[in-house]
Structure 1
Amino acid sequence: MKHWFKNLLKDKFLVFKVRDRWSASVQISQRKLYLKYQEQLKTNTLSTISETGFRVFSQFEEDGMLLFVFSVLGMPHKTFVEIGSDDGINSNSANLYFNFGWHGLFIDGNSKSIKRGRKFFSKYPHPWFYKPKFENAIVTKDNINDLINSNGFNGDIGLLSIDIDGNDYWIWEAIDAITPQVVIIETHREFGLKNIVVPYDANYTYPGKHPLYNGASPVAMVNLAKKKGYRLVGANALGFNFIFIKNGLADDAIPEVSVASVLTHPSVAESQKGFDDIKDWDYIEG
């Protein structure tokens, strides 16, 4: 069988699998969950966020956790900005886009990923669906607000997602063009409960001098969140994607949790052994 034909079959199979993710059955089941959580809120029987995870488009179970959060908060701002999105398909925002009609901005430094994302979102689920915007750029703390503003986003939005394997902490610190209800951002669980941040490097590209020498510890990220007016409410089971909600939004319904409470997966302790190689390098207190 010729290679091009193998690839064609492979692509069709993958598209079929992805297309299932916004099928009627998927949309109906998620709408039922949305209404279930709202009813639980009314009757004071709300699930805990750690019980709600599932994966449709997200890398891990963030889709379910975000659906829970926005079921409680409501969706007055159905917009997102995702930084470090790759092609946007397997992202934290795609489920909200395809299954709840959100609009937003995907930013990534890989031009091939952006091209692939534009092509995919221009075709599915149908050509006249309102498209997200794509920006191919290496983000810095000096350009991030201009990138967001120039694509037409400002003020209140629903979700900010940051996963750039590098200056995540510094980029969130710099953002003031938008005020998200919810922020999901990657932290370095390998740093344990130390309050440390890798110094900012505008020219950083992964993996740098060491694949773990970037970003911030969970404690430092929570400290930054508090400075910006957010509280930690949960994380994926593996304990590296932290979810924050703006203070004043559903404070009692989705309460603050401790860093230690979301770093309980057996793999966390194992991952912290990797810190030994870089424990004596330069850090800033978060």
Structure 2
Amino acid sequence: MNKRLINKLKYFITSLIREVQKEQNTQVDQIKTAGQYVLMKKLLTPAEMPTFGEVGFSVHSEFEEDGILLYIFSLIGTTNKRVVEICAGDGTQCMAANLILNHGWYGLLFDGDKGSVERGNTFFAKHQSTFAYPPRFVNAWLTKDNINELIAENGFFGEIDLLSLDIDGNDYYIMEAIDVVKPRVIICETHNIIPSDLSLTIPYKEDFYYRDGNQHVEFRSVSLLAMKKLLAKKGYRLVGGHRYGFNAVFILNGVGEDYFPEVSIESVHDNPYTKHRVETDWDKVKHLPWVQI
């Protein structure tokens, strides 16, 4: 197929995707979009495929991660459609919800707030897609010592398709500890006020809560470089992030490498929001007792 025809085809398909994305809140719309990605994969080279910036949309994610995840799994496929989400809030706005509600995934969700978990269980129990078999939603305070036991005792172990982690605290230590599941894709929040070249996290504290008033609210979480180092040891590569640069996506080495090659931290942080955050907030907390990784 010649280059001119390929470009016309790509323009046609991406135009369809944009039209579908205007009404992304139905299962049918998303299934159509996923089908377009599968068609593009058959007809275009990896270099000609859309970028994360072109596929994002939000149904239940806070930002455009629903669209990014749909795109990734349209290209790499799924194995068991199992997802573990750590700190899912009430489940109505999280990484797993769209996959569970609109694509038939099976979920294990955790949150430390009892009220949020109660609301989440009510939400999924009443939803048309999940009332017969809602995701397991667990109220627990997660530590590096109990995380594997809690995941396993709730029926999740071995290979899963997705792990989402957003604690705003001991993220590095919890991620380091997890070994009872082997996700193919990981999406996690990192702290983008920390410059790209610094590998830092907070000291581990079992009852850490970033809003407890005993430390600066921005003294929390982990830098992207530290998380990249950790996940590289576990066999993952950084493949991108959302448009604000703090939610990062990693994929297991050997999975989808042609379509999702490793990218640099600088490319994930190359956006106005991250640059603004580093410039305005890092100086306020750089003197605090960060741990070098």
TM normalised by structure 1 equals 0.89
Q: Secondary structure at the match of 1:189?
A: coil
Q: Is the CA contact (8 Å cut-off) linking 2:24 and 2:57 kept in structure 1?
A: no
One-letter identity of the residue aligned with 1:31: I
Cα drift, residue 24 of structure 1: 10
* 1:124 match: 127
Task: Output aligned runs, 1:190-269, within 5 Å.
Answer: 190-193=193-196, 194-208=198-212, 209-269=215-275
| Identical aligned residues as a percent | 44
The CA RMSD over aligned residues, in Å, is 1.6
Cα drift, residue 62 of structure 1: 0.2
Cα-to-partner distance string for 1:215-272 (whole Å, 9 max, x where unaligned): 1111111111111111111111011000111110011111111111111221212211
User: Cα distance 1:197–1:26, how it changes in 2: closer, same or farther (>3 A)?
Assistant: same
The answer for unaligned runs of 5 or more in structure 1 is 1-22
Distance 1:75 1:86 in 2: 25
Moved more, 65-74 or 47-56: 47-56
Cα-to-partner distance string for 1:58-115 (whole Å, 9 max, x where unaligned): 0000000000010011012201000000111111011100110001111000000000
* 1:152 match: 155
* 2:166 match: 163
User: Cα distance 1:222–1:170, how it changes in 2: closer, same or farther (>3 A)?
Assistant: same
Distance 1:41 1:221 in 2: 30
Q: What is the aligned residue count? A: 264
Task: Output aligned runs, 1:272-283, within 5 Å.
Answer: 272=278, 273-283=280-290
Task: Output aligned runs, 1:1-286, within 5 Å.
Answer: 26-43=26-43, 44=45, 45-125=48-128, 128-193=131-196, 194-208=198-212, 209-272=215-278, 273-286=280-293
User: Cα distance 1:177–1:127, how it changes in 2: closer, same or farther (>3 A)?
Assistant: closer
Distance 2:106 2:221 in 1: 28
Q: Secondary structure at the match of 1:107?
A: strand
One-letter identity of the residue aligned with 1:104: G
The answer for unaligned runs of 5 or more in structure 2 is 1-22
Q: Secondary structure at the match of 1:231?
A: strand
* 1:20 match: none
* 2:14 match: none
Cα drift, residue 128 of structure 1: 4.0
Moved more, 201-210 or 153-162: 201-210
One-letter identity of the residue aligned with 2:34: Y
Cα drift, residue 126 of structure 1: 5.6
Q: Secondary structure at the match of 1:37?
A: helix
TM normalised by structure 2 equals 0.87
Cα-to-partner distance string for 1:116-149 (whole Å, 9 max, x where unaligned): 0011111112674321001101100000001100
Distance 2:71 2:201 in 1: 30
Cα drift, residue 50 of structure 1: 2.6
Cα drift, residue 211 of structure 1: 1.1
Distance 1:69 1:150 in 2: 29
Q: Is the CA contact (8 Å cut-off) linking 1:50 and 1:234 kept in structure 2?
A: no
* 2:19 match: none
One-letter identity of the residue aligned with 1:183: I
One-letter identity of the residue aligned with 1:110: D
Cα drift, residue 197 of structure 1: 1.4
Distance 2:209 2:141 in 1: 9
